[in-house]
A and B are shown apart, each in its own frame.
Chain A
Amino acid sequence: MADKKRKSRDSQKPYKKQSFNFKASGKEGRKKRTGPRLPNSMKKVLERLNPVDSEGEEHDGRIDSNENDKPFGNDIYEYEGEVAPEDSRKNRRFDPVEKLEYELPEDFQDEEILSDYADGDDDDGIGLTSHEGEVDSEEEDDGRHTRMLQGITGMPSEAFEGKKKRSSAVVSEAYPESEYNPSHDILEGDGKINIQDLLDPLQDKAGYSELRKRMQQLENKSAPIQAPLPKPDREKVERKVAYEQSKKEILKWEPLVKRNREAPALFFDEDIDLKYSTVGAIASEFEPRTEFEKKIASLVYDEKVMEAHKKDGARLLELNKVSVEEEKERRDRIAKMRSLLFRHEMKQKHIKKIKSKTYHRLLKKDRLKAFSVQREMDPEAAKEQAIKQEFKRAEERLTLKHKNSSKWAKRILKRGLDAQDDGTRAAIAEQLQQHVLLTRKMNSMKENSSSDDSSDEDEEDSAASDQDSAAKLLADARGKTLKALEEENDAPTSGVLSLPFMVRGLKKRKDAAIEEAKLALEEYEMTSKQKEDSHEAEKSRPSTSSGRMVFGAVKPQIQNKKSKPERTLDDSDSEDDVEANEDGDIGGQKEDLQNDIGNGSFSFDEDSQIHQNSIFKSFDNIVKDPSAKTTYEVSIFASDSWRKMKDGKKEGTEVGHSSKKKQEVGEPAGVDKHLKSVELNELGEESDTESEGQMVDGVLSAGPARSYELPSQAELVQQAFAGDDVEEDFEKDKMEILNKENPEPEKPVLLPGWGQWTNVQKKRGLPSWMLKEHDDAKRKREEALKKRKDAHLKHVIISEKVDKKAEKLQTKSLPFPFTSKEVFEQSIRMPIGPEFNPVTALGALNRPEVVKKSGIIIKPIQFKEVNPHEKGDNYRGNEQKGGSKRKRGGDGAGKKKASKTRS
């Protein structure tokens, strides 16, 4: 506020003065200016000719001159130049006479005198006291003014005298006006003599250009200088500027701080000081300790050798000299070695050429024997062998070299195995067997280890009696199928399945299933016959290790088969669970199928096992699913009609599969069949894996459903909700839940013997307190029910049961930094313990937010440039001794380790 006042005062000052002056001279001046006027140059000339001038001219000049007195209107330097005492002649030190003779350059006046300029500007009239002509006209005005002042201030008029006296003391020009005797108006600006004017005469003189330049500089620079602000204001402005500046300065820290804040861990532990970072540096510190090292050192650092190294190589050559005998000996030795090698090579070649298989087999056997002996003797070799074997396995797993992926195998498969001769087929079988051997470990790892073990134990025994047991299993299966068929007759009486349309559908499916089961039984008959045939063939074949493995895989299947039917049979009695059971069964089937796929690779080399297997499975499934869920496996053996129902997509693979299997079923047993099965299984495996997705969602359940026409939607709905009262059911459910959560109080019962010893009590009935208690409990319950959240919601059940155990594992609200439930749950999803994570990941998972070591002084942050695009992961919070960066995260742990070992 004060500030403003001051300013306004400043601005008012000149204004007042101006108005004051107006009284004196304004009118006349105005008059003059409005009339027609001569151009200024002309006036000048006139002036010169007629030195005693009219008042009007003077007035005009005066008014114009006012321009210069505007507070900051004109150039101050210019102004100074104009009032130089010499020029203004006020001091009269110079002789005026000589100036008469001087001739002025022509352009002198025209340059600066602008007549228009003078118009309109009459701000100020102060200090124009040296006017002769003005005095008279001012005389009376002054008198009035003093009077006015006196009136206002109450001071005597003498106080205001001084100004007037001064004005009267001013002497008017003694000399006629000319360029060399500039009159007041010229000096004060109307004449517009400025620096340029003064400079012009000097044009030819030395140093003119310099002077002019300086003047120009001054002119350019000349900005109005303002009155200094009051101190508090000035300081305020200064502070503001300083604040902005320091804000800007501090801005540079932002990226650094941001990165620090975002970093999951800050490192303040000092870097390990690796003194020797290069190999050379480390080597130079080496000191031989053991005898061998010393020996070597003595040789290497032998004086002679060192000297030779220091000088040129000639001496080294000398030292290198070898005697003739030595050289000869060496040569002989090498020759001998070479010849030995050559012989060995030849021998190997020869052996390789031998075509006799028995020979090779014997050779192999020998080698194995030797190896086993060696293994016992030499653990080193055993380990080597194990590693080699492991390597092979790994390679096989990676490349699948033996899985019909070679060019040769592909070609043969393309042509069809049937077209090949026995040898080729055997070779392919051999190859696949090898593959199985090599990938065995992987498969065995996949399986449940316990079952694997048990099967391993079993396999020795069961190998001999496998035919028998298979037959027995078949018999079992048949029995169970029949049983299941019988049991299917009882239909569910309540629940969803009791709905009419469901009943119909079920019946249809049941029929189909029965048919299939019958077919399956037929198949079973057939296979059992075949099996007997193949029995002989198998006997002739030497049992291979893979044979055992088949059992390893099949065994659990059999067990499954044994266990599952029992369970499902039990379940089927309880009617409520039927639906859920069905779902489970579907899942089970899927699993089974996948199992089959997995196990397929085991079982393919065993001929008849395949059929047994598949039959088992099919029986299994049939038995398992009394509610007539058609299964894929069954369908393979089922009539052609089923195939028509299948998806178009699936037909290519699945149908092929099934048909081929059928074909195979019909084939006589033998090696050929064995081979075929191998191939088939391979094919089946591939196709299965391809079409797994489809099987999972579509065919298994949808397949049989297509067997009858779908009724329209409306019909369906009508059928579905024909006889049931959903609302009532719901109410019943709700009531049940309510009763569970707020149990109804027991009715007071008269205990036998209680209060019966007198007739009085007997008459009265129950004691009143009992009734009261009961009523209270009832009321309480009702209140509780009313308070429930779902009390007014007819179709909603809101459970108010709180699981205390679960409660302590839940937060009441979302913790602060997390924005959503999912994020929070995600943050605690993965375990971070050493049991659940490899060591390499552990460090990063468990790292605290601030990594520091006690005993190390942490210095405040030091500025360094941050690359905004750089990922935050290779950052150290504080660069202490200009130390190197360390990576964080999983990488960091490894690196840390490395650096430690280096040190």
Chain B
Amino acid sequence: MRVKVISRSTDEFTRERSQDLQRVFRNFDPSLRTQEKAVEYVRALNAAKLDKIFARPFIGAMDGHVDAVSCMAKNPSYLKGIFSGSMDGDIRLWDIASRRTVCQFPGHQGAVKGLTASTDGRVLVSCGADCTVRLWNVPIATLEESADPPGENSTEPVAVYVRQNAFRAVDHQWDGELFATGGAQVDVWNHNRSQPVKSFEWGTDSIISVKFNPGEPDILATSASDRSVTIYDLRMSSPVRKVIMMTRTNAIAWNPMEPMNFTAANEDCNCYSYDARKLDESKNVHQDHVSAVLDIDYSPTGREFVTGSYDRTVRIFPYNGGHSREIYHTKRMQRVFCVKFSCDASYIISGSDDTNLRLWKAKASEQLGVVLPREKRKHEYHEAVKNRYKHLPEVKRIVRYRHLPKLIYKAGIQRRIMIDAAKRKEERRKAHSARGTVVTKPLRTRRIIKEVE
């Protein structure tokens, strides 16, 4: 009697080292594995559950400020550094890795309202309610040798420019020498000049926020307290267009990967994504917050953005999705005044009323530290499978579920009730009036009053 076996050359399955993985030979004939779909569905389910189990987004808090954190700026060339300014005029540079203050920039008399850093990360610009714009040299040396941070060193401003009106916001151009401040009007400054290079004034209301377009560095957008969002073009050196909404826009963020698009964080709990070329309607309405959205920042990948709200939560939205994919909150976090995505798109930093900066993971269940290639592949597979079956009810339920603080949960329900009621009312009004007299505007245009040329 002879026994037949499949013969393979030994080279194919011998390991070079004992740590190596055994090579597995597989027959991919689909007829041999008929349960593949069921298997993958179960895996998707498990992946979703695992995601929930490992969702630990909060990494740590950075405390040191005495007053509420009003603004933050990331260092575009240095991943670990983040600047924060507080309401008492204190500016700090933090080392995210060690979560400690590296350097302080004292000088502001009132609240620091705007912070920004140049693209090379060497100059920090701050402005505040004390009507001054201050330029600081960022101490590179202390950044690099952050191993011995206990001696908190401080620096003097390189330049202080005093103007007549208080400033509300500042932003630096990408890869350029200009920065813009917003207050009574929009001023565009050069590092080397003590006077603004240009000033724009369109309307009389004060500017709340200023943002340069990172992709198209000569374009900037501002929002003002007259509920308008205005776009300026420095090449034409004139304001370009303005759109007036029903409620104020608190912050603006340009999509770094799509230079025509920006998203405005509005007072009415929603964020509105606009195409700068078509301001008469927003491209997308991102709704989930239950209170005014105070700050917004795009991920450098351009695929999602983070918002901080007055409802004490931080949410992450996909750039093209109507609802948030993630919500972050802690018991002690108060009103979130500023949020930033880190430059590598994997962390989120939020600054809030409770004088703390908080560091979050951008993906709640992401594994920190070194991930082996095999692990990485596994994660990717889990993600892919989960993504594939995300529409099926069980997976969907698990993926969507978030535990919310009672207040926010209740507020959300209430908000929904209100919206539904308004909708119902409108429907009834429509039903009882002549055809065509009551027109339901789509949500994307409902909150826009007009586009001003």
Contacts and interface: CB of A to CB of B under 8 A. Distances in A.
Nearest to A837: B28
Interface residues of B, number: 63
- Indicate the member of B77, B346, B391 with the most A CB atoms within 10 Å: B391
B372 interface: no
A797 B174 CA distance: 68
A379 B4 CA distance: 18
Nearest to A452: B4
Nearest to A241: B236
A833 B381 contact: yes
A877 B240 CA distance: 30
Nearest to A245: B236
Chain B binding site: helix, strand, loop or mixed by DSSP? Answer: loop
A433 to B, nearest CB: 19
B259 A253 contact: yes
B381 A260 contact: no
B399 to A, nearest CB: 13
Nearest to A460: B1
Given A831-B37, A835-B26, A858 B344 contact: yes
Contacts of B1: 457, 460
A187 B393 CA distance: 94
A891 to B, nearest CB: 18
Given A253-B259, A811-B392, A856-B344, A848 B380 contact: yes
Contacts of A238: 236, 238
B380 A858 contact: no
A242 interface: yes
Nearest to A831: B36
Contacts of B139: none
Interface string A430-458: 00000000000000100000001100110
A849 B303 contact: yes
A636 to B, nearest CB: 31
Contacts of A824: 391
Interface in B199-235: 202, 214-216, 219, 231, 233, 235
A278 interface: no
Contacts of B79: 855, 857
Nearest to B368: A854
B10 A383 contact: yes
A246 B219 contact: yes
Contacts of B302: 260, 861
Interface in B365-401: 377, 380-381, 383-385, 388-389, 391-394
Interface magnitude class on chain A: 35 or more
A808 B303 contact: no
A860 B219 CA distance: 14
A453 B6 CA distance: 12
B260 A253 contact: yes
B345 interface: yes
Contacts of A334: none
Contacts of B277: 247, 250-251
A858 B300 contact: yes
A599 B119 CA distance: 75
B257 interface: yes
Interface string B418-453: 000000000000000000000000000000000001
Nearest to A247: B277
A852 B301 CA distance: 9
Given A253-B259, A856-B344, A811 B393 contact: yes
Given A852-B301, A857-B344, A250 B385 contact: no
Given A253-B260, A812-B393, A246 B236 contact: yes
Interface in A454-493: 456-457, 460
Given A239-B239, A846-B384, A250 B26 contact: no
A854 B241 contact: no
B258 A858 contact: no
B136 interface: no
Interface in A236-283: 236, 238-243, 245-247, 249-251, 253-254, 257, 260, 266, 268
A239 B241 contact: yes
A811 B391 contact: yes
Interface string A877-899: 11000000000000000000000
Contacts of B76: 857
- Indicate the member of A824, A857, A863 with the most B CB atoms within 10 Å: A857
B232 to A, nearest CB: 9
A98 to B, nearest CB: 59
B453 A236 contact: yes
Interface in B261-288: 276-277
A386 B7 contact: yes
A245 to B, nearest CB: 6
B259 A832 contact: no
B453 A243 contact: yes
A833 B39 contact: yes
- Indicate the member of A249, A387, A842 with the most B CB atoms within 10 Å: A249
Nearest to A389: B7
A383 B9 contact: yes
A127 to B, nearest CB: 41
B384 A832 contact: yes
A724 B4 CA distance: 60
A217 interface: no
B193 interface: no
A117 interface: no
Given A257-B257, A260-B258, A831-B37, A836 B28 contact: yes
A854 B348 CA distance: 12
A290 B319 CA distance: 57
- Indicate the member of A453, A808, A847 with the most B CB atoms within 10 Å: A808
B122 interface: no
Nearest to B11: A383
A848 B384 contact: yes
Contact of B381 (A242, A846, A849, A860): A846
B383 A456 contact: no
Given A253-B259, A457-B1, A812-B393, A857 B77 contact: yes
Nearest to B9: A383
A809 interface: yes
Interface in B93-136: none
Interface in A802-845: 807-812, 815, 824, 827-828, 831-838, 842, 845
Contacts of A848: 380, 383-384
Contact of B40 (A240, A383, A831): A831
Contacts of A246: 219, 231, 233, 235-236, 240, 276
B30 interface: yes
A322 to B, nearest CB: 41
Given A838-B28, A845-B384, A456 B216 contact: no
B2 interface: yes
B40 A833 contact: yes
A836 B39 CA distance: 11
B81 to A, nearest CB: 12
Contacts of B235: 245-246, 249
Interface in A209-258: 235-236, 238-243, 245-247, 249-251, 253-254, 257
Interface string A697-740: 00000000000000000000000000000000000000000000
A856 B235 CA distance: 32
B346 A245 contact: no
Q: Top 8 A-B pairs ranked by shortest CB distance?
A: A242-B236, A858-B300, A860-B256, A860-B214, A815-B391, A854-B346, A831-B36, A857-B343
16 contacts: A235-B238, A239-B453, A254-B260, A456-B4, A809-B392, A810-B393, A831-B40, A832-B40, A833-B385, A847-B380, A852-B344, A857-B343, A860-B256, A861-B258, A862-B215, A877-B257
Interface of B: 1-4, 7, 9-10, 26, 28, 30, 33, 36-37, 39-41, 43, 76-77, 79, 174, 202, 214-216, 219, 231, 233, 235-236, 238-241, 256-260, 276-277, 300-303, 343-347, 377, 380-381, 383-385, 388-389, 391-394, 453
Given A253-B259, A383-B10, 4 more contacts: A387-B9, A815-B391, A831-B37, A860-B256
